[in-house]
């Protein structure tokens, strides 16, 4: 039996970016888009151009850069959104538009305040309007899984007539079950006469923990495009985790006669990049790419795996790009070896950024005998995505005094966005509290720490420290990250990074996006 090709539609940069606290700058979005292209996803949903100036510019930059995956932008069913999307996407190889309008009784009545007939009319008119510009249109029935099936069939037929190329039926609120979701697609295929002219797409949320199972059920019922995000990030409980969907299809190809275009050994790098840049840390027991997914702890399991890996290992780490033996660089590694490593790790740096990276690498070798791939990955990623377009805060110096019998005291000096050096000292119940109180006293924005996590990159006592924080900045939740040889310095960087992300966001906001699926 032949294998059916399933297209992968990644919405990490749109639906994933709607996770609380996640605010990616343009360079960060570009870096993720480049990685998604390396992973060979079929479509990249780059953002919602009408929502803000920042989103518009990011979608445009991605549309200009990415050539091997098609780039798609989200739009409400209104002319001004379609216009904005066109301005951002017209430079793309194949400009693609993702139009949506809700079809469930509850959304039509309370959110849209439209009758079902008005929803049909608007959808048809907007698809026709968009089709004058865009060669490719995906139309989504928001909250499809809670919509009336007869009504869905009726509106889909009309939207196809108007020119849509893909019909997406999302489970917007994560409410459906695999059997029910599969049935919906079966019904639509049986009751929409022109359904063969389009591809069907699924889009699942994980509120009941069934997003991946629901996506697989959709595939079994004729869907040929799956939407989701890397690491399953997204609004509320998140979206279907794409790495789980594609690995399930691969490992159980005996059961699922489907294939994808994905380069599976790029999954780990993609996951790492998304986790670090969004600050949404992956749980250790996460399927497919969690830190523990390939660790065998119990004696009986270890013994079995040593005798034959397949006894307890259904996925090999190599399949998803997890490598344990990475060649390390050290104090005596030269520029040439460093440059080769940069390429091997998948980065394309300008000469200026390469020099900067080499400098940081040399500095690091003063503290650390062996610099691992993971260390370098973090350094390179930070240099690559550092936005210099906005005046930001810069950490100049920290000094923390701690003793179990003393009151912890921190002294910090910071360069402000106005280029002034300010310094102060505060005490706290612990070193981190003292440090954060001091930083908060130096910056003008109102800040409030919500979450704080510290971990090490790789192992060993000289490992780099990586800090993640969630800070409320002037009422907005922002994630920040920081890396340094020292835990406190990494913590200080993370806090300032969250505030800087707020400044970057402020500089690009035109209007707040309305709530979308
Ligand atoms: Zn969604």
Other beta carbons within 10 Å of 99: 25
pLDDT in tens, 231-264: 999 999 999 999 999 999 999 999 999 999 999 9
Q: Report the alpha-carbon distance of residue 22 to residue 379 in Å, rounded.
A: 20
Beta bridge partners of 370: 330
Beta bridge partners of 410: 400, 426
* Residue 28 confidence (pLDDT): 94
Dist. CA 400 → ligand 1 center (Å) = 44
Residue 375 has pLDDT above 60, yes or no: yes
CA 75 to chain centre: 19
Dist. CA 25 → ligand 1 center (Å) = 21
Closest CA to 202 of 170, 179, 234: 170
Dist. CA 169 → ligand 1 center (Å) = 11
CB 103 within 8 A of CB 170: no
Residue 167 has pLDDT above 80, yes or no: yes
Element housing 200 (H / E) = strand 199-204
Dist. CA 45 → ligand 1 center (Å) = 11
Q: Report the alpha-carbon distance of residue 4 to residue 10 in Å, rounded.
A: 19
Dist. CA 394 → ligand 1 center (Å) = 36
Dist. CA 239 → ligand 1 center (Å) = 6
Residue 468 has pLDDT above 60, yes or no: yes
pLDDT in tens, 259-278: 999 999 999 999 999 999 99
Dist. CA 517 → ligand 1 center (Å) = 5
Residue 188 has pLDDT above 80, yes or no: yes
Residue 161 has pLDDT above 50, yes or no: yes
CB 352 within 8 A of CB 375: no
Dist. CA 204 → ligand 1 center (Å) = 7
Q: Is 80 exposed, middle or buried (0-12, 13-18, 19+ CB in 10 A)?
A: exposed
Dist. CA 173 → ligand 1 center (Å) = 8
Dist. CA 143 → ligand 1 center (Å) = 9
Dist. CA 203 → ligand 1 center (Å) = 6
Dist. CA 144 → ligand 1 center (Å) = 12
* Residue 70 confidence (pLDDT): 96
Dist. CA 306 → ligand 1 center (Å) = 42
Share of residues in the chain with pLDDT > 70 (%): 97
CB 112 within 8 A of CB 516: no
Dist. CA 513 → ligand 1 center (Å) = 15
Q: What is the DSSP letter of 460?
A: S
Dist. CA 240 → ligand 1 center (Å) = 9
Dist. CA 212 → ligand 1 center (Å) = 13
Dist. CA 129 → ligand 1 center (Å) = 24
* Largest distance between two CA atoms of the chain: 79
Residue 96 has pLDDT above 90, yes or no: yes
Residue 504 pLDDT level (bands cut at 50, 70, 90): confident
Dist. CA 479 → ligand 1 center (Å) = 21
Share of residues in the chain with pLDDT > 90 (%): 77
Dist. CA 487 → ligand 1 center (Å) = 36
Residue 64 has pLDDT above 50, yes or no: yes
Q: What is the pTM of this model?
A: 0.91
* Residue 77 confidence (pLDDT): 97
Dist. CA 335 → ligand 1 center (Å) = 45
Rounded to the nearest integer, the mean pLDDT of the chain is 92
CA 312 to chain centre: 31
């Amino acid at each position: 039996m032949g294998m059916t090709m399933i297209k992968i539609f990644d919405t990490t940069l749109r639906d994933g970016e709607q996770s609380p606290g996640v605010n990616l700058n343009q360079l960060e979005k570009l870096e993720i888009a480049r990685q998604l292209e390396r992973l060979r996803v079929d479509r990249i949903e780059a953002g919602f151009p009408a929502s803000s100036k920042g989103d518009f510019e990011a979608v445009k930059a991605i549309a200009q850069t990415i050539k091997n995956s098609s780039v798609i932008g989200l739009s409400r069913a209104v002319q001004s959104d379609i216009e904005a999307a066109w301005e951002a996407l017209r430079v793309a190889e194949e400009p693609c538009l993702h139009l949506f309008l809700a079809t469930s009784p509850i959304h039509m009545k309370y959110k849209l305040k439209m009758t079902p007939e008005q929803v049909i009319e608007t959808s048809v008119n907007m698809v026709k309007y968009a089709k004058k510009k865009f060669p490719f249109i995906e139309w989504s029935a928001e909250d499809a899984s809670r919509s009336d099936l007869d009504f869905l069939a009726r509106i889909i037929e009309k939207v196809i007539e108007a020119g849509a190329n893909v019909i997406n039926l999302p489970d917007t609120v994560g409410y459906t079950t695999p059997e029910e979701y599969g049935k919906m697609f079966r019904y639509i295929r049986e009751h929409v006469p022109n359904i063969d002219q389009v591809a069907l797409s699924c889009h699942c949320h994980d509120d009941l923990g069934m997003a991946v199972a629901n996506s697989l059920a959709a595939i079994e019922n004729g869907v040929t495009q799956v939407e989701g995000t890397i690491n399953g990030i997204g609004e509320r409980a998140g979206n279907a985790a794409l790495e789980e969907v594609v690995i399930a299809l691969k490992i159980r190809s005996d059961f699922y006669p489907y294939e994808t275009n994905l380069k599976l050994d790029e999954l780990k790098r993609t996951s790492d990049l998304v986790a670090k840049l969004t600050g949404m840390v992956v749980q250790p027991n996460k399927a497919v790419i969690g830190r523990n997914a390939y660790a065998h702890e119990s004696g009986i399991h270890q013994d079995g795996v040593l005798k034959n890996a397949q006894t307890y290992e259904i996925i090999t780490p190599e399949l998803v790009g997890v490598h344990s033996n990475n060649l390390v660089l050290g104090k005596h590694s030269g520029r040439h070896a460093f440059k080769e490593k940069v390429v091997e790790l998948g980065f394309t740096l300008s000469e200026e950024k390469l020099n900067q990276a080499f400098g940081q690498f040399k500095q690091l070798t003063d503290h650390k005998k062996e610099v691992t791939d993971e260390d370098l990955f973090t350094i390179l990623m930070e240099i690559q995505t550092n936005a210099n377009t906005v005046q930001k805060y810069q950490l100049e110096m920290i000094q923390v005094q701690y003793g179990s019998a003393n009151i912890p005291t921190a002294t910090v000096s910071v360069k402000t966005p106005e280029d002034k050096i300010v310094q102060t000292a505060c005490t706290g119940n612990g070193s981190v509290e003292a440090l954060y109180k001091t930083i908060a006293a130096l910056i003008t924005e109102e800040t409030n720490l919500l979450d704080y996590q510290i971990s090490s990159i790789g192992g060993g006592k000289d490992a780099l420290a990586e800090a993640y924080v969630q800070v409320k900045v002037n009422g907005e939740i922002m994630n920040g990250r920081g890396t340094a040889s020292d835990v406190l310095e990494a913590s200080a960087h993370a806090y300032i990074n969250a505030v800087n992300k707020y400044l970057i966001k402020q500089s690009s906001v035109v209007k707040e996006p309305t709530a979308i699926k």
